[in-house]
Amino acid sequence: CGTGGILIEAGLMGLKIEGSDIDAEMIGKCRKNLKFFKLSARISVADASKISGRKDYVVCDLPYGVSSYLSEKKKFLYPKFTRALSSHLGERAVLCIKKGEDEQLIKKGFKELKIIKSFSYYIHKSMTKKIIVIE
């Protein structure tokens, strides 16, 4: 869930929200931001590649791996996450990733998931996001 941006937007729309992050420090920042907007959510420290239970809808902005440490780590995280997602997704998911090699890493983990739409969103000269809608 990072700092909670997606959760905040969903909460302000009146949706039931829950999120997780592997980093306890980010959970604290997310809780602080949710509190500012007077939103409540089920937030936990968890590994996104170990999803349990059916998730009707999932929206996530996966780490971009700008640092070399994260770049290496995401080579394993992305396929592992999409494999887990394909086993637990009920309806639809929206994934935000960095355009380029990340697209191939996401596709490696697909089993039964199908990309139904994808969009590119220019951020600045060294960053374009790819938004992928899957079901």
CATH number (domain holding residue 118): 3.40.50.150
Residues 88 and 108 in one domain: yes
Residues 39 and 60 in one domain: no
Residues 61 and 22 in one domain: no
Residue 118 token pair = 């994808």
Residue 86 sits in which domain range? 50-135
- Look up the pTM and report it: 0.80
8 Å CB contact between 53 and 88 = yes
Residues 56 and 105 in one domain: yes
pLDDT tens track, the chain, 135 positions: 888 999 999 999 999 999 988 889 989 999 999 999 999 999 999 888 888 888 888 898 877 655 444 555 656 677 788 888 888 888 888 988 877 766 666 666 666 678 889 888 888 887 888 888 988
Domain count of the chain? 2
Residues 28 and 69 in one domain: no
